[in-house]
């Protein structure tokens, strides 16, 4: 987990020419830090914001043709980007905002935020997503990471997902055809452009009560107002919480540069203002070493680390 230090390469391949008739936005050398919750990261060589599924497929094919690495950046809540930035293409799906309700099913674009979807379904008297409240993700990222809380996971209500694969082919797979894991949708790099959730009817007031109780517990135990990536490490097992191990190892308030372990929840690292990716990774390495020495457990990152 040693951070890179090289600068972004020169102009390189002409992405715009390779995309041809493209309906989205293509920008060069765009700072990514403001697009992440932890406010860390250098520039993207290319930042591409497509408008249609065909545009996404075109980007995938162009990157394959030009041998450019491709990363998808959703809500920026579970990602750490290198200080040097990303040399390839960063794809953002914020334009994918469609929501179509069909009875108890909702089909949702990848760029819809999870909090807004939860509010909409609650108001419609559709239950099933409310225990995911407080996760600051977009739907595409939530599916890709099988985002969740102690109470629920995204795949609990997922009926199907429309995906773009590494060859640019578009296919809709049912929940039964997917193999999610803990905090991993098991998509093998395929890009989520749309997801359908199978919900159930309930009174909006009852849904609101569950939502508020879940949010109360989350706010009481997590530094939700601070700059973080969410949980840094995966829980080693159902009865073994990474945060408890880190706290037992004496790591609360441990600091490297501008990054510190949260006093409220030890599996959250917070950027106190001028933290860097190098600071963050150095702190991760120190915490892992202390937990390994104490408990013999090798913590594995839950945060997605890009550009190293």
Tens-digit pLDDT profile for residues 232-271:
999 998 889 999 999 999 999 999 999 999 999 999 999 9
Q: What is the pLDDT of residue 20?
A: 83
The reported pLDDT for the residue numbered 12 is: 57
- Angle value at C-alpha 238, between 222 and 297, nearest 5 degrees: 85
302 in catalytic set: yes
**Do the beta carbons of residue 250 and residue 233 sit within 8 Å?**
no
pLDDT (tens digit, 9 = 90+) per residue, 164-222?
Answer: 999 999 999 999 999 999 999 999 999 999 999 999 999 999 999 999 999 999 899 99
CA 74 to CA 274: how far, in whole Å? Answer: 23
Per residue in 108-135, pLDDT tens?
A: 999 999 999 999 999 999 999 999 999 9
Indicate the SS3 state at residue 58.
helix
Given the residues 231, 251, 288, 290, the one annotated as active site: 231
State which fold the 15-91 domain adopts: 3.30.43
Q: Is the pLDDT of residue 4 over 80?
A: no
Q: Domain coordinates of the chain in residue numbers?
A: 15-91, 99-220, 225-306
Catalytic (active site) residue 231: yes
183 is catalytic: yes
Domain 99-220 has CATH 3.30.465.10: yes
CATH 3.90.78.10, applies to 225-306: yes
Given 183, 227, 278, 290, the catalytic residue: 183
């Amino acid at each position: 987990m040693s951070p890179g230090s090289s600068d972004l390469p020169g102009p390189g391949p002409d992405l715009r020419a390779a995309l041809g008739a493209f309906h989205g936005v293509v920008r060069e050398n765009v700072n990514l830090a403001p697009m992440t919750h932890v406010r860390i990261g250098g520039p993207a060589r290319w930042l591409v914001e497509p408008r249609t599924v065909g545009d996404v497929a075109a980007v995938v094919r162009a990157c394959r043709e030009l041998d450019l690495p491709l990363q998808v950046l959703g809500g920026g809540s579970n990602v750490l980007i290198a200080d040097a930035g990303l040399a390839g293409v960063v794809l953002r799906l914020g334009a994918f905002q469609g929501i179509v309700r069909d009875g108890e099913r909702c089909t949702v674009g990848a760029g819809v935020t999870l909090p807004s979807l939860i509010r909409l379904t609650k108001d419609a008297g559709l239950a099933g997503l409310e225990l995911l409240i407080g996760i600051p993700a977009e739907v595409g990222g939530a599916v890709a990471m099988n985002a969740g809380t102690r109470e629920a996971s995204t795949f609990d209500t997922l009926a199907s997902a429309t995906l773009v694969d590494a060859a640019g082919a578009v296919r809709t797979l049912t929940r039964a055809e997917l193999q999610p894991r803990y905090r991993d949708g098991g998509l093998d790099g395929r890009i989520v452009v749309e997801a359908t959730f199978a919900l159930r009817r309930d009174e909006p007031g009852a849904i609101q009560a569950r939502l508020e109780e879940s949010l109360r517990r989350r706010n009481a135990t997590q530094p939700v107002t601070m700059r973080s990536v969410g949980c840094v490490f995966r829980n080693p097992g159902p009865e073994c919480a990474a945060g408890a191990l880190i706290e037992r190892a004496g790591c609360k308030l441990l600091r490297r540069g501008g990054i510190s372990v949260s006093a409220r929840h030890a599996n959250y690292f917070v950027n106190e203002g001028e933290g860097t990716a190098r600071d963050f990774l150095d702190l991760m390495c120190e915490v892992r070493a202390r937990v390994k020495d104490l408990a013999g457990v090798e913590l594995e990152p839950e945060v997605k680390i890009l550009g190293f």
